[in-house]
Homo-oligomer: A and B are copies of this chain.
């Protein structure tokens, strides 16, 4: 039984290597190199660890780590959708749900069920853990765009209103991180790297 499990787990481990090929729109800090989903997920995990004291509600940090580590694995099948895409809906699509079932479904049933439900909890964004995890996911590209003189805002002509609308999600997980983020957004307008 443990041997059967192991072979399924190893196949899953090989499959998720593809996460390293999925390019995000956002670039690394002070860089013109696109970030990939594996690097992004690692960075969110590190942020979740060091920023934990700023979470508004009590959080199970292990669950948050699982959420941020797995949240983009579905993009192996479903692809990365730009958060400011005007044609496609960024949030939880049928394609992503199918992907979650296929990819996490490679694992032994109990594990597959746990990861699918952790991923769905993240997507719904209702629990403290999901809210805090989503704060990380919105904060990282904000920091990156500021470091890159506007980054994807400039590149794709995204204005203040759209940025504010997406970023205010940070507030649901952490009011202190939102205070900081709001200040960064205002400063970006002042510096002319984000258009009103």
Report A's interface with B, CB cutoff 8 A: 2-3, 5-6, 9-10, 12-14, 16-17, 19-21, 28-29, 35-36, 38-39, 41-43, 45-47, 49-51, 53-54, 61-62, 65-66, 69-70, 107, 111, 143, 147, 176-177, 180
How far, in angstroms, from A38 to B40 measured CA to CA in the complex?
9
- Complex CA gap A13/B177 in Å reads 14
In angstroms, Cα B17 to Cα A36, docked, is 12
Please judge, given known A-B contacts A2-B53, A20-B35, A38-B39, whether A46 and B62 are in contact too, CB under 8 Å.
no
Neighbouring B residues of A147 by C-beta, 8 Å: 14
Q: Which residues of B lie under 8 Å from residue A46 when comparing CB positions?
A: 13, 16, 69-70
Q: Give bound CA distance, A67 to B66, whole Å.
A: 15
CA distance A54 to B42 in the complex (A): 23
A6/B54 in contact, CB under 8 A: yes
